[in-house]
Chains A and B, each alone.
Chain A
Amino acid sequence: MITQLLINSLVAGSIYALIALAMNLIYKASEIPNFAQGEMSMFSTYITFLLLTTFGYPFSIALTGTLLFAFLLGFIFEFLFIRRAKEPNLLGFIIITLGFQLVLFGLAGWKFGSDQRTFSLPFSETEILIRTESFVLTEHNLASIIIAIFVMAGLYILLNHTKLGLAMRASQQNVKAAKFNGIPTDRILGISFGISSVVGAIAGILVAPVATLDPTMMWDPLIKGFAAAVLGSLESLPGAVIGGLLLGLVENLFGYYVSLEFKSIVAFGIIMLVLFVRPSGLFQKHYIRKV
């Protein structure tokens, strides 16, 4: 049984980690917690659905189309709204992201109806890959883990071994200095939003088959992903991954051994405890303003 629990934790954790990564990519670049993240993923997932089911394209094309759409969605969100905030402060940005969330939520409900739809991917969540006495591994389980690892590796290479990644890291550390050195920081921020949106869309596609596709499908995963990001620290990408995996593990263990009903809120109990000891998450030094 413990093996099964670990597998479930790993799958849930990978998805949380992806959402947390998407969250942190934006937070690191702009100190904005993007509450529209979930709805952006949801909307992109609907695009996959549209391309696959309504237009009947093969999965590879549908996926490419979705990721392109996701990138544009993130980039345009930043360009149209975030960049134009008048007196930008944390609350203002939070409201903008909440507003965008409502817009996407409404549009999705309007366009696709709020009834739940089923969704099939090349890797099925019912097709069992390995079955032993102690555990069951579905195609979807394995695919989730592998895809998550691919995305993380991709992000690592992008950030550490490309010119774009260097520019992104530079503007994360010091926007002004980056700007003075000729980095187009505005555009870089837009690209960060785009990449974050792509990562979120991948998480959405992985969530959809398990959760059924409807406009509220990302609410719960988003909150968990956000919690994972906070757990690890919003400033650290490895922190997001570890936070996600940790949350998946704790949640599943608690759900099995203590209470399934309170599974969804135990995460917050733990996060409150962690934040009480380390106010900026596990992987970040707490910052104190100097006078």
Chain B
Amino acid sequence: MTFLKVKNISKSFGGVKAVQDLSFEVHKGEIYSIIGPNGAGKSTVFNCINGLYKTDSGDIYMDEQKLTNFRPEQVAAAGIARTFQNLELFSHMSTLDNLLLGRHLKMKASIFQIAALNFRKSQAAREEVEHRRKCEEIIDFLELEAYRNLPVLSLPYGVQKLVELGRALALEPKLLLLDEPAAGLNNEERQDMIFWIKDIRDELGISLVVIEHNIQLVKDISDRLLAINFGQKITEGTVDEVLDHEEVITAYLGEPETDQKMR
């Protein structure tokens, strides 16, 4: 069953075509990975889905709803959350505040209700308490208890990655976009990340699209795989099909002949 549908999107910056006529579909409950060399346009695809970039042409659908040219906050409201390649955390705020920000769309208190936040029985206070409880569940899930009240600026890189993941989960998304979730992690942290990504799909029932360089991780988690280069699709299919594909190998390792000539 098609869940996310990206249809013929293109995006160029000046003369550089970052994404050209790219289409793919993600099924419900699936972990779908996008691989490709540096500068292949993977993050651009996310930014287009996300509404951070306006696509030049093409359409994006989720659950039959057309998301093309939505603003980022509308995309979030439609149920898509994401993490970033180089961490985009609210670094001066605590872990808990970062997660609470993920609940922003679910909270409704208006500026007038907020004036009564001091009263335990007020609408604003009850809402605040309820959402803090929800965030506490995510903190449990990702084992972030020790870092709850620390500013994320001061946390180790691996933990910051988890906080960002937690913030995305706090949105209770239907679809999660992970941009290089394992980049910069050590071996142990990477194993944990694999475990959590699978948990998110299995326990929380969220579909995932993952951009990743680490082939081992891609092999471990992915149901299906998309390989792109120069903003265009090389191939799509199961993990083995894609990784054995000749052009994919070339894209990653270079032409065998040119290598020899260089020697």
Contacts and interface: CB of A to CB of B under 8 A. Distances in A.
A265 interface: no
Contacts of B88: 291
Contacts of A291: 43, 47, 52, 84-86, 88
B63 to A, nearest CB: 25
Interface string A260-291: 00000000000000000000000000000001
Interface string B17-61: 000000000000000000000000001000100001000000000
Interface in A73-123: none
A291 B43 CA distance: 8
A291 B86 CA distance: 7
Interface in B66-95: 84-86, 88
A291 B88 CA distance: 8
A250 B43 CA distance: 45
A231 to B, nearest CB: 26
Nearest to B50: A291
A153 B47 CA distance: 45
A291 B47 CA distance: 8
Interface residues of B, number: 7
**DSSP majority for the A interface?**
loop
A291 B180 CA distance: 12
Interface string B83-123: 01110100000000000000000000000000000000000
Interface string B141-165: 0000000000000000000000000
Nearest to B87: A291
Contacts of B86: 291
Nearest to A291: B84
Contacts of B43: 291
Contacts of B84: 291
B50 to A, nearest CB: 9
B253 to A, nearest CB: 28
A23 B52 CA distance: 33
Contacts of B52: 291
A291 B179 CA distance: 10
A64 B43 CA distance: 57
A88 B43 CA distance: 30
A291 B84 CA distance: 7
B83 to A, nearest CB: 11
A219 to B, nearest CB: 35
B201 to A, nearest CB: 24
Nearest to B84: A291
B124 to A, nearest CB: 30
A16 B43 CA distance: 44
A58 to B, nearest CB: 57
A90 B184 CA distance: 30
A122 B88 CA distance: 60
A258 B57 CA distance: 47
Nearest to B47: A291
A269 B120 CA distance: 48
A288 to B, nearest CB: 9
Contacts of B47: 291
A271 B178 CA distance: 42
A268 B43 CA distance: 40
A86 to B, nearest CB: 15
A58 B217 CA distance: 79
Nearest to B52: A291
A23 to B, nearest CB: 29
Nearest to B46: A291
B91 to A, nearest CB: 12
A291 B82 CA distance: 12
A114 to B, nearest CB: 42
A139 B88 CA distance: 59
Nearest to B43: A291
A2 B43 CA distance: 57
Nearest to B85: A291
Interface string A235-252: 000000000000000000
A142 B194 CA distance: 75
A103 B85 CA distance: 45
A87 to B, nearest CB: 11
A64 to B, nearest CB: 48
A221 B43 CA distance: 47
Interface in B123-143: none
B72 to A, nearest CB: 11
A205 B85 CA distance: 53
A291 B52 CA distance: 9
Interface of B: 43, 47, 52, 84-86, 88
7 contacts: A291-B43, A291-B47, A291-B52, A291-B84, A291-B85, A291-B86, A291-B88
Which 7 A-B residue pairs are closest in the complex by CB-CB distance? A291-B84, A291-B88, A291-B47, A291-B52, A291-B86, A291-B85, A291-B43
